Amino acid sequence: MKLYQLELSIIFPAYNEEDNIVEAVQRALFFVDSHAAEIIVVDDGSIDSTVQRLQPFQDTIKIVRHSKNQGYGAALRSGFSHAKGRWIFFCDSDLQFPLDALSEFLTYTHDYDLIIGYRFPRKDPRIRIINARIWRFLVNRSLGLSVRDINCAFKLIRTSHLHSITLHAKGASINAELLTKLSSHRMIQLPVQHVPRIRGRQTGAYPRVIIRALRELAVLVYDVHFGSEIQKP
């Protein structure tokens, strides 16, 4: 059994988040001050000054860089592979999630292996909310899940379980994949506060992002029904 060096690894995937990344890291540093934790920022090939904004923190956080943009799932997978904490928490770096709820999530770690959030109420443009409802229906129906908010980027997962599975998704379907492959483990869903994005640009509703997610979902559905990777209860 692997011995983890820390209690918690906090992972922020970031793509062109120059206006938000400093505050995201500062909030996380304030949180980890009272925990045995590390902060990992995965820059997914940003073409703005995200990486430069991270330089003052290079001695206190771990910075992982992709030379080119690979996708949200690829960024998370890089973060997972560098994690040294017993638990992995990942959150977007757009400041739409206050970190306060993480303390509450940690109180459930004795009884659950996955503590996942759902945005309540969700503070996003209407088109993103509609897209999310369609995505939730497709994922739950095709994969046999019952998850309220598939892509909510506020999840706390036991690292040993994440490291026991092979993740393939490079795009937005990464959440559907990990939830499916870890569906035999104990999971609880909790509401988390969600606030509107103030700075920067959302990319999740871009057609190319949606098309990629649908393609990856199709592969995952095939794997669930005809493959052998999925962990069964």
pLDDT digits (tens, 9 = 90+) for 33-66: 888 999 999 999 999 999 999 999 999 999 999 9
Provide the pLDDT for residue 1.
46
Alpha-carbon gap, residue 91 to 165, rounded angstroms: 20
Residue 180 lies in a domain: yes
């937005």: which residue's tokens? 172
Answer for the pair 65, 162: CB distance below 8 angstroms, yes or no: no
Residue 58 vs residues 54, 63, 84, 219: alpha-carbon distances, Å:
7, 7, 17, 38
98 or 1, higher pLDDT: 98
- 130, 204 contact by CB (below 8 A): no
Total domains, the chain? 1
CB atoms within 10 A of CB 3: 6
> Residue 232: inside a domain, yes or no?
no
C-alpha dihedral (177, 148, 19, 58), degrees to nearest 10: -50
Over residues 65-77, the pLDDT tens digits come to 999 999 999 999 9
Question: Which amino acid, 182?
Answer: L
Does some domain include residue 231? no
> What is the three-class DSSP state of 119?
strand
For residue 88, the enclosing domain spans 6-226
**Quick one: tokens of 122?**
């969700």
Q: CA distances (Å), 190 to each of 73, 115, 119, 154, in order?
A: 22, 7, 9, 10
| 84 found inside a domain | yes
DSSP lists the bridge partners of residue 10 as 39, 89
* Predicted confidence (pLDDT) at residue 233 exceeds the cutoff of 50: no
Identify whether 233 is part of a domain.
no
Query: Is residue 134 in some structural domain?
Result: yes
pTM: 0.93
CATH number for position 220 = 3.90.550.10
